[in-house]
Each structure stands twice: as structure tokens, then as C-alpha cells.
Amino acid sequence: MIEFANHNLCKNCVLPEAKPHIYFSDDGICNICIEFEKNKVIEEETKLLETDLLKILKKHKSKGKYDVLAMCSGGKDSTSALYYMKTRYKLNPLAFMFDNGFESEEAINNVKSAVEALGVDFMFFKSNYMKDMFAKILETNSKAVICHPCSLWYMDLAYEIADRHDIPIIIAGWTKGQSTSQKVMSKCGCNAAAPEFKDMGSATKDFINSYVKNDPKYRDFPTSMDEVIKKAASRKTKALVISPHWFLPFGPDVYTPIIQKELNWKFPSLSYPGRSTNCNLNFISVYNSMKNFGYTHYHVEMSKLIRQGVINRDDALRDLEYKISKESLNKIAKGLNYKYE
């Protein structure tokens, strides 16, 4: 069983010390938490409310068949986002699920169950387009975070689908831990320039510039989320991307029981972080991030949620425990013709 120890972590959140970008005070508190406390008043004053979401939905009301494009991963956050669009806000969503070739049957079944119960149209897109890129990350021992180029791909794809169907709003299931104080919506959930992401972002950018751009197959692949958004702005339908979870005053402890009861949503048997739903390739992405950086983008997300009081530190530490056998890891890696020795 592969395990990574959770030691030398910030006493307030779950970030490790990773100089020069993440460092601790004499009291063992990271600079990110200290900076958050300094700006806490500003954060509260700019806090998004559900009334803000209602104004956005009204302002960008669709004139076509679908009001919103709901990106669905099969997880509790995206499934509840789809649920709220249909039931709470009385909109007509087009549910959209993308499969990079490593999606689990449990996640797919969750989406199928939800769209059936809600009676909404559903589009499923499966592609092996990204597999060569994923394999190259492993072959070259790159520190690029597999999830990052994948997010560039699926956001570009979501904008394309929205444009094709004249849908003005794309709904994501991103949590408050995946948003920032930036204007809605400019960075697709995270800020690559933030200290916590600098090393990861640089590694991914170097990989794309060194390998991806030299492959004719990926000639038009975007190098950053800014490029994805700039491309989206040139489309006929300039879709806005938002998550209802940024605006609602409650979290998964409220909406998870609801979708379990009404949509027959189920937790997957194995996923990382605990009590989440991510593709199977995520186990490799997490393994590499822990090995290369000592933490993952999930540590960043949960640390934000801890600071905001959405979750507690003990629950975060439990969900961030990485436990998977080497055999299971290599079973996933086999799909990319790779083996961990």
C-alpha cells in the first residue's frame, strides 16, 4: 500500500511547508493563512450571495432551447449543481459529461441516474485525444500536474459545446475552495499565479511548451486557461462560467443527502480525496504531485475551505489520506503503457 505521511503541516490548514512559496511562522502557521486573516474583512465584504447568482441568471437568460450547460463529473458537487439548476432555479439545463478515457462506471452511472430523475437532456463525450499527452508526462518524468492540461482540454470543449448550442452560461460544480476573490468568472476556478500553485503551474507550462507544442496532434492546444478564455471570448456565444456553490450559504453536508435521496447518487467505492468522485487517472496525478511537490491541488482547495469555515481540519486530513496499492496504480498506468517500478 502506497501512503504519504501528513507531517509538518500548517497548524491551521493542511498545506505543508514548501519554500519559497509556502513557509511557516514561528507558531507553525503558513503565510497563506496569515495573508487570509489580513484580508478577511475584504473577503467578507466581497462575499458572493445567492441574490448575486439570481441576477446573473436573469441577466444572461437564454433565448434558445437550453438555459445552461451543466458540466457533470458524477461527483456530489457537479450533480448538486445540475440539481439546483433544474429544481431550485427552474432552468432547462443540458447536462454534459466528458470522459478522458479514464472515467469510472460509478461516476457515469451517477450522471445517468441524475439526468433520468430530473428529465433533462444529456450529452456524453468520450475521447482518447488526451491519452498521448498523459503518457508523455509519465514518459518524460515531467512534474506537470496531469489534471491541469486535462482541465484546459475540457474547458475548451465546454465552451465549444455551449457555443454550438447557443448556451449563455456554463455551470460548474466548483466549491468555494476552487474559487478566488477574482471577478466571476475569469480563471475557471483557480488562480495559477497564486503562491500555492506557482511550482505546479510552471511545471505544467514548461511541459506544454516543450512537448505538446512540438506535436502536430496538439498544434492548437491552449497553453493556459487565459488562452482558453480568450478563445471563448471570440466565439459567437460568449458563455459565462459560474458555480452555484460560490453563492450558496451551505456545503456538501446539506446537498449530498438530498441528491442521494432524490437522484440515487452514490459515493464511489474508491476515489481521491475521500468522499469525492474523480476519474481513475486522478490517482496517478495525485501520486506524482505528492512525490514532486509534497501536496496536491486538493490540499489547496481544502485549505481554502478550512479558512472559510466550510469544513474542519480533521475531516480534511482524513479525506486527504492517500491509500492505494502499487498494483492498482500500475493497473491504471497500464492504460498509458507505463509501469511504476
Contact 169, 239 (CB under 8 A): yes
**DSSP track, 274-306:** TT----TTHHHHHHHHHHHHSS-HHHHHHHHHH
CATH number, span 48-311+319-341: 3.40.50.620
Please give the mean pLDDT across all residues of the chain.
92
**For the segment 43-97, what is each residue's pLDDT rounded down to a tens digit?**
665 788 999 999 999 999 898 999 999 999 999 999 999 999 999 999 999 999 9
pLDDT, residue 43, reads 63
pLDDT tens string 123-144: 999 999 999 999 999 999 999 9
This model's pTM is above 0.75: yes
Q: Tell me, what's the pLDDT at 45?
A: 57
Region 299-310: what's the mean pLDDT?
93
**Residue 223 near residue 205, CB atoms below 8 Å:** yes
